[in-house]
Amino acid sequence: MDKRLQDLADRFSQIAHQYDDKHGSEQKTIYNACASLVVEHANPGPEDVVLDLGTGTGLIALALAGNAGHVVGRDISDGMIEQARSKAADRGIENVEFGFGQFRDPQYDGEVDIVVSNFALHHLPDEEKREAIEAIADLGPRRFVLGDAMFFGSPDPEEPLFGHGVDGATVGMLVDALTDGGFAVTALERVHDQVGVLVAERVGGD
């Protein structure tokens, strides 16, 4: 892992034990709305393998485990992965596995039906977001659901929703990258001017 990513992973590991309680109220409402939409649009069936990239403490992965066949959560932060594993054990959820993996190399060799990612892709600069979307397309999922910081217009510099560390893309850039990756965007949910959920289906998929 390069130094930038290692530093980010270390920062998340340091706050992992309090991550689930850390959001301020406005951000929490937006985050919860976004997470619910990601879960709703992912909509896995009992045979589906779901890959959650930047899974963190497993919010989305654990929410999908009830309906999916198997869920794989990948993250760069050991501390976040540890929290996710401990939550799965506490809840007796057995069809999830959490481990190290990056957007560009998720370190999972099996078939993947649905890829999801919530509030994680914004850690990458735009060029790396494109590479990440290409890597996701190469996994061959029929659906990719992305919830994240994304700009529907020009963000007001006087009212930033997010602080340092959030490199939001425009919706247009993300739609272009998804289309270039062989997906058709079938839904776009606007949670806030700066947060949304994109649903992409593989063109020519089942």
Binding site for ligand SAM (CB under 6 A): 5, 8-9, 12, 35, 53-56, 59-60, 75-77, 80, 102-103, 118-120, 123-124
Whether 80 contacts 22, CB under 8 Å? no
- Read out DSSP for 56-93? TTTHHHHHHHTTSSEEEEEES-HHHHHHHHHHHHHHT-
CB of 74 to ligand SAM, least distance (A): 6
Query: How many other CB atoms are found less than 10 A from the CB of residue 123?
Result: 21
CB of 60 to ligand SAM, least distance (A): 6
Radius of gyration of the chain (CA): 16
CB of 35 to ligand SAM, least distance (A): 6
All residues at 6 or more sequence positions from 117 whose CB lies less than 8 Å from its CB, including other chains: 38, 52, 53, 54, 103, 144, 145, 146, 147, 148
- Closer CB to ligand SAM, residue 46 or residue 165? 165
- Closer CB to ligand SAM, residue 48 or residue 75? 75
CB of 120 to ligand SAM, least distance (A): 3
Nearest-CB residue for ligand SAM: 56
- Closer CB to ligand SAM, residue 70 or residue 74? 74
- Closer CB to ligand SAM, residue 99 or residue 184? 99
- Closer CB to ligand SAM, residue 166 or residue 188? 166
What does the DSSP 8-state code read for residue 168? P
